[in-house]
Chain A
Amino acid sequence: MIKLNSKQCRIYRVRVNDLEAPFLYNDPTLEVCHHESKQRNLNYFSSAYTAAVSAVDPDAGHGELVIKVPSELWKQGDDLKVLKVYIEFSLDQPKGGLHFVVPDVEGSMAERGAHVFGSCDGKMKIFSCHRFWFPCVDSYSELCTWKLEFTVDASMVAVSCGDLVETIYTHDMRKKTFHYVLPIPTAAPNISLAVGPFEILVDPYMHEVTHFCLPQLLPLLKHSMSYLHEIFEFYEEILTCRYPYSCFKTVFVDEAYVQVSSYASMSIFSTNLLHSAMIIDQTPQTRRCLAQALAQQFFGCFISRMSWADEWVLKGISGYIYGLYLKKTFGVNEYRHWIKEELDKIVEYELKMGGVLLHPTFSGGKEKDNPTPHLHFSIKHPHTLSWEYYKMFQCKAHLVMRLIENRISMEFMLQVFNKLLSLASTASSQKYQSHMWSQMLLSTHAFLKSISNVSGKDIGPLIKQWVDQSSVVKFFGSFAFNRKRNVLELEIRQDYTSSGTQKYVGPIKVTVQELDGSFNHMLQIEENSLKHDIPCHSKSRRNKKKKIPLMNGEEVDMDLSAMDADSPLLWIRIDPDMSILRKVEFEQADFMWQYQLRYERDVVAQEEAISALEKFPTPASRLALTDILEQEQCFYKVRMQACFCLAKIANAMVSTWQGPPAMKSLFTRMFCCKSCPNIVKTNNFINFQSYFLQKTMPVAMALLRDGQNICPKDVLNFILDLIKYNDNRKNKFSDNYYRADLIEALTNSLTPAMSINNEVRTVDNLNADVRLILEEITRFLNMEKLLPSFRNTITISCLRAIRQLQKNGHIPSDPSLFKSYAQYGHFVDLRIAALEALVDYTRVERSSAELQWLLSMAQNDPVHYVRHKILGMLCKNPPFTKTTDSALCNEALVDQLWKFMNSGTSHDWRLRCDAVNLYYMLFGLTRPSCLPLPELGLVLNLKEKKAVLNPTIKPELGVGAPDPVSLGVCGVGQPPQGLKRKADTPLGSPPEPGQVLQQQDDDGRGARYKIRVRHEDIDMETVHDSQAFIHHHLNLLERPSTPGTHTHTHTHTHTHTHTLIAEYRNTHTHHCRGHYIHVTSYKQALDNKKKPAKPGSVRRTSTSAGRG
C-alpha cells in the first residue's frame, strides 16, 4: 500500500515498476459531513473535519490516493528494494493550489500578462496544499531531491525551485521546456511554480539572484529590489552561514494568495509590493516583506519541521531573525515599538479568544485531551486552524524566541542557529545517505537540546510556561510610598482565572526612577505574596537643584514642582523589557506618567505613558503631550500617538480648554508659511518623521469635538484649507498617502446628522459643512479616475468617507456605489475597502440581499484573497451574533453557510476555516437557535455529551435519520483509509476526480469503532475482498475521460529525485497535465514514515521524458 496526497487531480493510471497498480482515490475533506444530515452544530462539524483531515494526514502515513502495490512486488518491498511509482494525471480547471490570472483582453497570453503560480500560502506554510496540484506526500518531513520539467508557451517563463539547468524548445519551436534540478533535499510543500510572461531582472549586486515581475513593472522592480542584497548580507552575517541554495528567485504575481510566500530557493510575492522611488509609506513595508521571505528561506524552506507540533520553532526563529533585521535597519526604537505592538496583539487576542498553544501534544488522541477546548476548531492539524489564530501563533512564536534570547543571550542564540544550519547543510550535501537528511528537519526537542548544549542553561521552565502552555499573564500593579521607612510598597496582583490567562511565578523586573537615578529591582513573583517592599535610594528633596540621572546615563534638568513633595519617586515601570508575555495595568499618579512621558527614553515607556494619560485630562497632561509633539528627537510613532491622545484629552476638557483647538497652532508653526499662517507650505517630504507627523495631526485634530459634540468649525475649515492649498509640484515624493489622510481627517470630523424624524436625505437639506466635505470627496474621487494614485489610496479614503456620511445620516444609505467598486477588475485594495463598506452596510441595515451578495462573492470570486477577506470582515463586523436576535438569522442562511463550509470550500483550507469562523461568530458552537428544535431527546443528549466525539448518532438513529450507514461513516470521522464506498454511489458510475470511492461496509457501527485503527492494522482480507470492486473501477479509470493519445518514454536514472513533468497550457480552460513519478520502497510506505528513513528505504524515483 502506498499512500499519497492528491486533490483535484484526475488520475489516469498508476504503475509500480511498470506493473499496472490498482488505486483508490478518496478525498474525505471534499465533503466533511456526508448527506443531508440535520446536524448543524459546529462541535459536530469540527470533530468531523478534524477526523477527515487526520484520515489523509501524510505525517501519519495517510493520503487521498491509495495505491495497491501489485503482489508480484511484495517480495521486492520486503527486501527494501526500490519501487518506482508512475502516476499519470491531469488537472482541469483547478480551484485551488494553482492560480491562473488571465486578464480578459485581446492579444496573446503574453501580451495580456497572463500568469499562473502556486497559490499556496507559503508564508503560512502550514496549509500545505501541494496535493492540490500534484500527487505527493504533502508533508514537511518527507524530504527528497527534485527534478522538475515544465513545458510552457515560448513567450512564457517558468520559474520554479532549484537551478535552471537548461531551457529547450519543443520540436515545433512554439514551446519551451524548463528543466530544473533541486539537489538539496526538500519537502513537497516547499516546491512551487510560477509561469508567466515575466520580465527578468538579474540582481546587479548578486548575479545568482533573479527577480521576475509582470510586464511593464520593471522600473518598479528595479527600485524595489535595489536593497535586497543588504538583507542577504545581514542574514548571512548574523547566522555566519551562506545562503543555503545556489540561487534565489523572487517572483511578483498578481492576485497573490498571501503577500509573501517562501519556497525552496524562490519566493512568491504580491505584485502590489512593488513601488517606485516616490512612495514613502510602502517602502518599509516592502522591505519587511522581503526580509520575512528571506528569513523563511533559512528556517522554513531549507530547514523544515519534523512535525506540525514543531512548527513554532521555525516560525519563531524566522520571526526572530526578521526582528533582528528590523532592529538593524529601522533602529532600536522601531524594533521595540514593534515588539510592543506584537505583544499587545497577542495579549489582546488571547484574552479575547483564549490561549494560543505553541507546542500542542496529543497524548492518546482522545478528544477529551484536547489541549485547547476553548477553541471552536482543532489545532491538531494546520488545515483546521483559524487564520487569525495562526497569525497570532506566529506572533507568539517569535516573541517566545525573544524571551529565550533574553535568557541565554543573543550570542548563544545565534550560535544555536548557526549550529542548526551547519548540521543541515552538511546533511544536505550527503547525496546518497539520505538518513542524514533528518538533520534538516527541526523538532522542538532538537532545538531545546541544542540550546542547552550551546548555552549550558536550562530554559525548561520558560518553555513550559510559554510553549507547552497557552495563555498570557495579566498583572495589576499599584504602589504606596512609605515615608517613614523610605520604602516603596509595590503590590502586584494577577488575574489567572479569566480566559486566556495563566499564573506566572518567577522573576519580574521593576524599574524605579528616583530623584537620584534609575534603579532596577528583580522581584520574585510567588504563589501568595502580593506585596513587595523596595527600598528607595533617595530622600525627597524638591528644592535642591540638581540634574537627575536617567537609566541611560543621561542627566537632565526637571521641573519637579509637579511631584509629591514627600516622595522621591518619579515613575515606576513593571517588566520594562517585556520579558514576560503579559498585560500590565499599573496605577500611578498623573504627574508620574507625565514625567515618564517626558523623560523616560524608552519608546515603550513613552507609549505606555501616553495611553495612561488618556485618563488624566488636565492642563499638565496637555502640556506634556504638546512638548513631546514638538520634540524632534522623540520617536515619530510616539509623537503620532501623542496626537490622538491629545485629541481625547482636549475633548474631555472641552469646557475648560483655553486657546485655539489642540494641535492647530503647533501644526501651523511646523508646517505652515511664516508669512501667512493659514496656508500650508508646499510639500517637501524629505524629512520622513515630519512627513508622518504632518499626515497624522489633521487626522487627530478632526476628532476634536466642541460643547455640542460636533467638530469645531475652525478645525474643519483648517482641514479644508490644507486640502485647498496642498501643492506637491516641488516634491520628489508622492503625496497620495497624505491626501488620503486628509480625506480621512474629513471623515473623522463627521458627526451624526441632526435627526429629523427619518426624513429622506436629499441634496437640498444637506448641512453646509457636509456639502463642502462632499464636494471635496467628489472632486478627489473623480480626479482619481483620471490620475490614479499609488494603490488607489485616495479612492479608498473616499469610499470610507462616503460610508461614514451614509452611516451618520447625511446622505442616503445606499450600497450600489460600493458594489460597483467591489467588482472584479478593480485594484484589490479598492475592492477590499468597498467590501468593508458593504459589510458595514449589511450589519447596520440588516440587509439580507447584501449579505447574500457578499456570500456569493465569497464563493465565486476569482481572487482567493478577496474571498478570504470577505469572510474575515464578516467575522470582524458580523451582521448579527449568536447572542443577538436578527431577522437575518434564518434556516436558509444556516443551510447555506453549512453547505459552504462542508463542501463548498474543499479547494482552499483557509477559506474553509474562515467559513467555520463565520459560522461560529454567527451561530456559536451549538445548534443555531433559529433552527426548528429537533426532537427533545437530541438536545438533551447534546448537552450531556458535548465533548464526546459524536454524541449525535444515537439520537439521530433514534429519530430516524435517513441512512444509518452513511451516518456511521460521517459521524465517526473517516475511517482512515476511506475504504468504504458511499452507500448510494452507483457501482458503474465513472469516478470523478475527488469523488469518494468507498468500499461497501457491512455495518456502520463496525466502522465507527474502528476510528483509531492504524494503517498497518488493516485487515488485508477486507482489501482483497474489495479487489473485484476496485478492478471494476480501474477498468474504467484506465480510459481517460479526456480523449487524446499519450505516448510516454522513460529513461531511468537512479537519483533520489521526485520528478514532476507538467505541461501548462495557458488556454482558456486552465488545464494542467502531468506525470508524477514517485518511487518508494514498499516497506517505507508501511512504516508510516514516522521514523527517520533507514538507508535503503529511501524514496527513489526516476526521471522521465515529457510527453510527446
Chain B
Amino acid sequence: MQLAAVAKIKSLNYTNISYRNIAGKATSSPAENYLLARRRTLQVVVSALLTESGFESAEKAAVETLTEMLQSYITEIGRCAKAYCEHTARSVPTLSDTVVTLIEMGFNVDTLPIYAKRSQRMVITAPPVTNAPVTPKALSAGQKRTHPAHIPSHFPEFPDPHTYIKTPTFREPVSDYQVVREKAATQRRDVERALTRFIAKTGETQSLFKDDITTFPLIAAQPSTIPYLSALLPSELELQALEETDSSEQDDQTDGENTAGNDDPGADKENSMLPPSGVVPSTKASEDNVIDNPYLRPVKKPKVRRKK
C-alpha cells in the first residue's frame, strides 16, 4: 500500500492543502471539484492495491481509512521534501530531496524500482484533467512598493502597505495646564480625604459637634512617647521628594546628602562617630583618621585592684 502511494508523490507534492476539511462536503466550486477528483483517484488506488493483494471486497469505512492513511503519508512526504528543498535554498524539490525524505521516514529506497516493475500491477487511469484551482487574489490595498535596487527581484514582493505602515490612532492628550493642575489638585484632595476618612472610621475620633460625629471626624490625638521625633524629622514623603528634586538639581549636592543620605541614623553608631563626609572639605577628609576627640577615645578598662 505504501509503495503504491509513491507513484503519486510528484503530483501531490504541490498541494499543501489539507484535504480533510474539504472531504465529505457537497460542494460545487472548481477548487473543491479538483480536490474531490484527486481523492477519488486515491480511493481507486487503494481499491486497486487491495485487489492486488487478493481482497475480494472491502467495507467502505475500511477503504476510507486506508485512503486517509495514504493521503497522510503522501502529504508528509511532500511536506518533508519541500522542507529539504527549502533548506538548501531552492524552491522546487528535486529527486534527491524526495529520496532523502523517504530514507528519513524509514523507507528502503532500493526496493522501489523493483516494486514499480512488478508484473501484477494494475494501471490506473489518470485522474480527469481539471485545472488546478486559482487562488483568488487577495484584495490589494494601496500601491505595493517595488524592491529597492539592492534587493534582487526574485525576492518576494513587499506586502501590502497597510501591513507595515504606522497609522496613528491615539487621542490628543490633555496638555492644558489648567486642567492638569485642576486634576492633580482634585485627585490629591480626594485621596487625602478618602484616606483620612478611612483612618477616622477605623480609629478613635474626636468631634467638633456633640450631636454629629460623622460630618467632620477628627482623628483623635494620640500622645506619643517621644513626640519630638515625628515633629522634627522629615517624613519619608518629604525625603523622597527631596531626593527627586536633588537628582534633578545637581548643583546642590551637599544639602541632599545631609538630609537624604541618612535615612536610618540610629542604626549605625560607628558611622555616626565620624564626621559627615558630605560636608567635610576634601582636604580635611584625610585628617579624619587622626581626630583626637576625647569622646571618640575608647573607654578604658578599670585598673586591677591591688589587693585581691
The 8 Å CB contact of B208, one of A214, A673, A817, is A817
| Closest B residue by C-beta to A220 | B232
Q: Is the CB of B232 within 8 A of A762?
A: no
| Closest B residue by C-beta to A816 | B206
Chain B nearest Cβ from A255, distance in angstroms: 9
Contacts of B280 in A (CB 8 A): 204
Q: Is the CB of B299 within 8 A of A226?
A: no
Q: Is the CB of A727 within 8 A of B178?
A: no
Which of B193, B217, B294 counts the most A-chain CB atoms under 10 A from its CB?
A: B294
Chain A nearest Cβ from B8, distance in angstroms: 76
Q: Is the CB of A827 within 8 A of B231?
A: yes
Q: Is the CB of A786 within 8 A of B245?
A: no
Tell which of A1-9, A477-485, A777-785, A1032-1040 binds the partner.
A777-785
Q: Is the CB of B195 within 8 A of A827?
A: no
| Contact A782:B228 (CB < 8 A) given known A169-B299, A201-B272, A824-B223 | no
| Contact A277:B255 (CB < 8 A) given known A791-B232, A825-B227 | yes
| Closest A residue by C-beta to B178 | A676
| Contact A202:B291 (CB < 8 A) given known A782-B199, A788-B235, A790-B234 | yes
> Is the interface on chain B under 10, 10 to 19, 20 to 34, or 35 or more residues?
35 or more
Chain A nearest Cβ from B75, distance in angstroms: 67
Q: Is the CB of B272 within 8 A of A200?
A: yes
The 8 Å CB contact of A725, one of B185, B229, B259, B297, is B185
Contacts of A787 in B (CB 8 A): 235, 237
The 8 Å CB contact of A170, one of B196, B220, B241, B302, is B302
Q: Is the CB of A792 within 8 A of B299?
A: no
Would you list which residues of chain A between 194 and 230 have a CB under 8 Å from chain B?
Answer: 199-205, 207-208, 210, 214-220, 222-223, 226
Chain B nearest Cβ from A837, distance in angstroms: 13
Chain A nearest Cβ from B62, distance in angstroms: 80
Chain A nearest Cβ from B59, distance in angstroms: 83
Q: Is the CB of A827 within 8 A of B295?
A: no
Complex Cα spacing A201 to B217, Å: 44
- Asked if A271 lies at the interface with its beta carbon under 8 angstroms from chain B, I say yes
Q: Is the CB of A785 within 8 A of B199?
A: yes
Q: Is the CB of A169 within 8 A of B301?
A: yes
Q: Is the CB of A202 within 8 A of B234?
A: no
- Asked if B177 lies at the interface with its beta carbon under 8 angstroms from chain A, I say yes
The 8 Å CB contact of A762, one of B212, B219, B223, B273, is B212
Chain A nearest Cβ from B180, distance in angstroms: 10
Contacts of A805 in B (CB 8 A): 208
Contacts of B228 in A (CB 8 A): 214, 254, 271-272, 827-828
Q: Is the CB of A113 within 8 A of B177?
A: no
Chain A nearest Cβ from B113, distance in angstroms: 86
Q: Is the CB of A811 within 8 A of B234?
A: no
Contacts of A816 in B (CB 8 A): 206
| Contact A216:B266 (CB < 8 A) given known A278-B242, A732-B252 | yes
| Contact A207:B291 (CB < 8 A) given known A220-B232, A732-B249, A788-B231 | yes
- Asked if A729 lies at the interface with its beta carbon under 8 angstroms from chain B, I say yes
Contacts of A732 in B (CB 8 A): 242, 245-246, 249, 252, 255
| Closest A residue by C-beta to B184 | A727
Complex Cα spacing A217 to B178, Å: 41
Contacts of A673 in B (CB 8 A): 177-178, 181
Q: Is the CB of A167 within 8 A of B300?
A: yes
| Closest B residue by C-beta to A163 | B294
Contacts of B301 in A (CB 8 A): 168-169
B-contact bits for A603-625, CB 8 A (1 contact / 0 none)? 00000000000000000000000
Contacts of A826 in B (CB 8 A): 221, 223-224, 227
| Contact A223:B259 (CB < 8 A) given known A218-B265, A679-B178 | yes
Q: Is the CB of B229 within 8 A of A216?
A: yes
Which of A154, A176, A277, A725 counts the most B-chain CB atoms under 10 A from its CB?
A: A277
Contacts of A820 in B (CB 8 A): 206, 220-221
Would you list which residues of chain B between 102 and 156 have a CB under 8 Å from chain A?
Answer: none
Q: Is the CB of B273 within 8 A of A200?
A: yes
Q: Is the CB of A724 within 8 A of B189?
A: yes
Q: Is the CB of B232 within 8 A of A199?
A: no
Q: Is the CB of A169 within 8 A of B302?
A: yes
Chain A count of residues within 8 A CB distance of the other chain: 94
- Asked if B167 lies at the interface with its beta carbon under 8 angstroms from chain A, I say no
- Asked if A756 lies at the interface with its beta carbon under 8 angstroms from chain B, I say no
| Contact A725:B221 (CB < 8 A) given known A277-B258, A783-B192 | no
- Asked if A774 lies at the interface with its beta carbon under 8 angstroms from chain B, I say yes
Contacts of B230 in A (CB 8 A): 788, 827
Q: Is the CB of B275 within 8 A of A201?
A: yes
- Asked if A728 lies at the interface with its beta carbon under 8 angstroms from chain B, I say yes
A-contact bits for B242-256, CB 8 A (1 contact / 0 none)? 101110010010011
| Closest B residue by C-beta to A200 | B295
Q: Is the CB of B226 within 8 A of A164?
A: no
Complex Cα spacing A778 to B199, Å: 13
Complex Cα spacing A783 to B233, Å: 16
Contacts of A783 in B (CB 8 A): 192, 196
Which of A215, A219, A226 counts the most B-chain CB atoms under 10 A from its CB?
A: A219
Complex Cα spacing A1006 to B119, Å: 165
Complex Cα spacing A921 to B223, Å: 33
Chain B nearest Cβ from A308, distance in angstroms: 35
Complex Cα spacing A778 to B181, Å: 23
Chain B nearest Cβ from A579, distance in angstroms: 42
- Asked if B21 lies at the interface with its beta carbon under 8 angstroms from chain A, I say no
Complex Cα spacing A276 to B297, Å: 29
Q: Is the CB of A199 within 8 A of B272?
A: yes
Q: Is the CB of B227 within 8 A of A782?
A: no
Chain B nearest Cβ from A199, distance in angstroms: 5
| Closest B residue by C-beta to A279 | B234
Complex Cα spacing A781 to B219, Å: 8
- Asked if A761 lies at the interface with its beta carbon under 8 angstroms from chain B, I say yes
Contacts of B252 in A (CB 8 A): 732
Complex Cα spacing A214 to B195, Å: 33
Would you list which residues of chain A between 395 and 422 have a CB under 8 Å from chain B?
Answer: none
- Asked if A985 lies at the interface with its beta carbon under 8 angstroms from chain B, I say no
- Asked if A383 lies at the interface with its beta carbon under 8 angstroms from chain B, I say no
Contacts of A275 in B (CB 8 A): 232
Complex Cα spacing A786 to B177, Å: 30
Complex Cα spacing A272 to B218, Å: 26
Q: Is the CB of B300 within 8 A of A207?
A: no
Q: Is the CB of B241 within 8 A of A728?
A: yes
Q: Is the CB of A278 within 8 A of B216?
A: no
Q: Is the CB of B231 within 8 A of A785?
A: no
Chain A nearest Cβ from B279, distance in angstroms: 5
Would you list which residues of chain B between 188 and 207 have a CB under 8 Å from chain A?
Answer: 189, 192-193, 195-196, 199-200, 206
The 8 Å CB contact of B233, one of A113, A216, A731, is A216
Q: Is the CB of B232 within 8 A of A786?
A: no
Complex Cα spacing A15 to B244, Å: 67
Given A724-B185, A727-B181, A779-B192, 12 new contacts (CB under 8 A): A105-B225, A201-B276, A202-B296, A204-B280, A218-B272, A278-B234, A278-B238, A732-B255, A761-B209, A782-B218, A820-B221, A829-B231
Listed A/B pairs (17) with beta-carbon separation below 8 Å: A168-B301, A200-B272, A204-B284, A216-B266, A218-B262, A219-B258, A220-B232, A271-B228, A276-B234, A673-B177, A732-B249, A782-B196, A790-B234, A791-B231, A811-B209, A825-B227, A826-B227
